[in-house]
Chains A and B, each alone.
Chain A
Amino acid sequence: MRRLTWFNATSLTLGFAFLYIPMLILIIFSFNASKLVMVWAGFSTRWYGELLQNEAFLSAAWTTLKVAVASSTIATVLGTMAAYVLIRGGRFWGRTLFSGMIYAPLVMPEVITGLSLLLLFIGIGLDRGVLTIVLAHTTFSMCFVSVVVSSRLVSFDRSLEEAALDLGSTPFEAFRLVTLPIIAPAVISGWLLAFTLSLDDLVIASFTSGPSATTLPIKIFSSIRLGVSPEINALSTILILIVTIGVLTASLVSKRSSLKMQADERAAVRN
């Protein structure tokens, strides 16, 4: 029997207060009229207005979005391929090296990943810009996608694929018609993870970007280095809001689909 003792209630309250109060303060002070960030001088949406006028931030946001969509999409394709190869590919030459290269970027310090990619791009004479950031982001996020997808591939019943093959479909058809629909939720969450990682990344983007391409985290970092600014508070509030809506929607959708699946199973049992 689970019950909520006063100790557990206190630790949960304090824990979540610690996690959420800093972000709440950030949001509240983004509506502060004063330029002095920590002194309250009445409610105002002034900083949101100024943010929308700020060309530098808007263009950085646009670059970030382009990089995130491109890199997460390529990473999802490559990561799913890599997961399929690792789980279903059987033995091949250099398999250990391959799985090592999938797991190593997950624990590699960002400064090292960034430095090594930059040295490669300089070595082959590739101009740094949007393309190099996309290449860099794809490389580390494909490994995250591959881990998410392979955990789904491990848990599903392989005989379903075999049945499709026995019934005369080609391996590619079996993948498209049987495997892909089953692993689709993992592929989608892999894409979302890759997308967020790319939106969030400061260190690797700083190493691999050039003067022609500035992403939002680079822009935010260079302006908060000088101190707290109300415009950044407004920007942070918008970003927090987007993430919250995204996470809530995703969790509602997955809850509904699991409820629907349970209902279907019950209906199937009754029939």
Chain B
Amino acid sequence: MRRLVLIAVPYLWLLTLFLIPFLIVLKISLSDTALSIPPYTPTLDLGAGWTGVKEFFAGLDFENFWFLTTDELYWKAYLSSLQIAFLSTIMTLIVGYPIAYGMAQAPDEWRPTLMLLVILPFWTSFLIRVYAWMGILSREGLLNQFLLWTGVIDAPVKILNTDTAVYIGIVYTYLPFMVLPIYATLEKLDESLLEAAEDLGCSRASAFWLVTVPLSKSGIIAGCFLVFIPALGEFVIPSLLGGSQTLMIGKVLWEEFFNNRDWPIASAVAVVLLLILIVPIILFQRNEQKQREAEG
């Protein structure tokens, strides 16, 4: 009896507040936009009995999905989100790997402090960390002041409200997600393998590429997915740092819902975004599984 309660409470909670809401999104994505409250049709009329149910299902179609393929705004937004998420993941890896490597090589007594320094930004508000860059990147901002002072440029350049600012924002805010898993694999790396490689005539650089990098592969994969997956649906960064021409699907969904009040299209956008995410999510899960098996 107690066991039943223990299972049922979290189970029912997630069914009601996670699964059912998602089914509602799915259903509304198959409905038509209407000028009514709620702004879509059909609505399920249980009072009409079986005919009501039948009419309800007859009213559903894939029209919204068809619309997404015909209007170029949407597929451009999906492609540009994929591109921004992919490129910023690579950049985060390039910035993050040396940090993780340096941490793993640092003297033992430094490591807890270094770890703390990586975790601290992670606990600090995401919004504030994005906001911090707004002042730096603006036309009168410190970056422009600095560049003018060094003489690299002679007139302020526009950085805020461009795609460049979005890349900087993603790399900055997601950096801890890249550093931590890579550090975790590098920290466990057996130093004697590197010594063996060097004894066998490997240079330090090739030992790094042939031993260290392959052995930290699972950390690299985990870090990349931890950046790529949330970056793809990102809303805050493109809307604060990006410009009007920055197309990201999270922003499109938000605007479709709040500004255009088009619920069926917003829902269809959400369903397609989720379909795109399934592949990276499965690959990520598989990597985690492999890592657990390797450890256990």
Contact = CB atoms under 8 A, between A and B. Distances in A.
Interface in A210-260: 217, 220-221, 224-225, 227-228, 232-233, 236, 239-240, 243-244, 246-248, 251, 255
B227 interface: no
Interface string B207-248: 000000000000000000000011011011001100000000
B14 A98 contact: yes
B232 A109 contact: yes
A182 B96 CA distance: 34
Interface in A3-32: 3-5, 7-9, 11-12, 15-16, 18-20, 22-23, 25-26, 29
A63 to B, nearest CB: 16
A142 B10 contact: yes
A94 interface: yes
Interface stretch (B46-54, B55-63, B64-72, B135-143): B135-143
B138 A228 contact: yes
B24 A16 contact: no
Interface in A100-142: 101-105, 107-112, 115-117, 119-120, 122-123, 135-136, 138-139, 142
Interface string B250-276: 100110010000010011001001100
A70 B211 CA distance: 49
A15 B16 CA distance: 43
A139 B172 CA distance: 28
Interface in B100-145: 101-103, 105-108, 112, 114, 116-121, 123-129, 131-136, 138, 140-142, 145
A199 B239 CA distance: 20
A251 B116 contact: yes
Nearest to A9: B102
A2 interface: yes
Contact of A119 (B24, B107, B124, B240): B24
Interface residues of A, number: 84
B145 A38 contact: yes
Q: Size class of B's contact patch?
A: 35 or more
A165 interface: no
Interface stretch (A43-51, A82-90, A262-270): A82-90
A94 B128 CA distance: 41
A60 interface: no
Contact of A15 (B98, B232, B257): B98
B77 interface: no
Contacts of B16: 120
Contacts of B236: 202-203, 221
Interface of B: 2-3, 6-7, 9-11, 13-22, 24-25, 28, 38, 95-96, 98-99, 101-103, 105-108, 112, 114, 116-121, 123-129, 131-136, 138, 140-142, 145, 172, 175, 179, 191, 229-230, 232-233, 235-236, 239-240, 250, 253-254, 257, 263, 266-267, 270, 273-274, 277, 281, 284-285
Given A112-B270, A224-B134, 4 more contacts: A1-B191, A78-B10, A107-B281, A247-B116
Interface of A: 1-5, 7-9, 11-12, 15-16, 18-20, 22-23, 25-26, 29, 36-39, 78-79, 81-82, 84-85, 89, 92, 94, 98, 101-105, 107-112, 115-117, 119-120, 122-123, 135-136, 138-139, 142, 146, 171-172, 196, 199-200, 202-203, 217, 220-221, 224-225, 227-228, 232-233, 236, 239-240, 243-244, 246-248, 251, 255
